[in-house]
């Protein structure tokens, strides 16, 4: 059983000023609308309707937070002592690139997203969700470039890998590694970017993603220290 299975809904945020004040590491799922962020969170947390997944693009319109640790937290959310048991937060970000969002709302989201990924101190890293059939769209690249200067890790999930055959999967992964490897900092060092194939439908890459997420949240270090 993964620690992620303890995930519970924590809160919904629409303005940066309302971000949780908890000092625990958080990991955010970013990506284009409809790429499969909410579905990935649900499958990794082994819950059907934790994050709201939908056939309608643009479904996730706010920043939704899920807590890990203190599995009974949801029932006692107003009880401050319970909040102390939360060890980490998972964050479902609104998808970008959804054409039918009216201009002003789109601007609001983009600013919210950009500010959030660049300035959120307790953000341990980003899980960048991209459709394996069309990864690295302009907006994905913008997200990578916003985040790269923080020096924090980005783990990319190439989702809906069930839509690719074996050959296409291998190529998609290889190409993605090449793109990510082409980013280097001022001293020529690569950024801490990684990538894998993923499918919620065919359960491809779930263990790999789970292990990576726990590593990014610092859980795996804790476990090996305890051993």
Ligand X SMILES: Nc1nc2c(ncn2[C@@H]2O[C@H](COP(=O)(O)OP(=O)(O)OP(=O)(O)O)[C@@H](O)[C@H]2O)c(=O)[nH]1
Residues that bind ligand X (CB under 6 A): 31, 33-39, 53-55, 57-60, 94-95, 159-160, 162-163, 199-201
| Residue 6 binding Mg ion, by CB under 5 A | no
Residue 129 CB, shortest distance to ligand X, in Å, is 6
208 binds, among ligand X, Mg ion, none (CB under 5 to 8 A by kind): none
Residue 202 CB, shortest distance to Mg ion, in Å, is 20
Nearer to ligand X, 36 or 153 (CB): 36
Nearer to Mg ion, 39 or 67 (CB): 39
57 binds, among Mg ion, ligand X, none (CB under 5 to 8 A by kind): ligand X
C-alpha 90/C-alpha 27 separation (Å) is 5
35 binds, among ligand X, Mg ion, none (CB under 5 to 8 A by kind): ligand X
Residue 100 CB, shortest distance to Mg ion, in Å, is 15
Sequence-separated (6 or more) residues with CB below 8 Å from residue 141: none
33 binds, among Mg ion, ligand X, none (CB under 5 to 8 A by kind): ligand X
Residue 39 CB, shortest distance to Mg ion, in Å, is 8
Pairing of β 8-13 and β 63-68: antiparallel
| Residue whose beta carbon is closest to ligand X | 95
Nearer to ligand X, 94 or 125 (CB): 94
| Contact status, residue 44 vs residue 93, Cβ threshold 8 Å | no
Exposure b/e, 45-73, CB count within 10 A at least 16 = b: bebeebbebeeebbbbbbbbbbbbbbeeb
Cα-based torsion angle of the residue sequence 144, 4, 124, 206 in order, rounded to the nearest 10 degrees? -30
Residue owning tokens 């303005």 = 15
Six-digit token string for 155 = 């783990």
Nearer to Mg ion, 52 or 136 (CB): 52
DSSP string, 177-203: HHHHHT-B-TTSPBPSEEEEE-BTTTT
Residue 77: CB atoms within 10 A of its CB come to: 14
Nearer to ligand X, 39 or 214 (CB): 39
Nearer to ligand X, 33 or 83 (CB): 33
Sequence-separated (6 or more) residues with CB below 8 Å from residue 98: 32, 33, 34, 57, 58, 106
Applying the rule CB under 5 A, the residues between 17 and 76 that interact with Mg ion are 37-38, 59-60
């Amino acid at each position: 059983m993964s620690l992620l299975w303890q995930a519970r809904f924590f809160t919904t945020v629409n303005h940066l000023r309302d971000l949780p004040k908890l000092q625990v590491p958080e990991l955010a799922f970013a990506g284009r609308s409809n790429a499969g962020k909410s579905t990935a969170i649900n499958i990794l947390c082994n819950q059907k309707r934790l994050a709201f997944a939908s056939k309608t693009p643009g479904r996730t319109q706010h920043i939704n937070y899920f807590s890990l640790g203190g599995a009974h937290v949801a029932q006692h959310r107003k009880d401050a002592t319970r909040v102390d048991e939360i060890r980490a937060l998972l964050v479902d970000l609104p998808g970008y690139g959804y054409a039918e969002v009216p201009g002003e709302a789109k601007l609001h989201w983009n600013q919210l997203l950009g500010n959030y990924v660049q300035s959120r101190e307790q953000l341990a890293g980003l899980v960048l969700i991209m459709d394996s059939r069309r990864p690295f769209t302009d907006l994905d690249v913008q997200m990578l470039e916003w985040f790269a200067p923080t020096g924090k890790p980005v783990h990319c999930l190439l989702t809906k890998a069930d839509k690719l055959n074996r050959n296409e999967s291998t190529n998609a992964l290889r190409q993605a590694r090449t793109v990510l490897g082409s980013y280097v900092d001022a001293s020529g060092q690569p950024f801490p970017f990684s990538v894998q194939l993923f499918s919620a439908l065919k359960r491809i890459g779930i263990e790999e993603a789970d292990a990576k997420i726990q590593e990014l949240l610092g859980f795996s270090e804790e476990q090996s220290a305890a051993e």
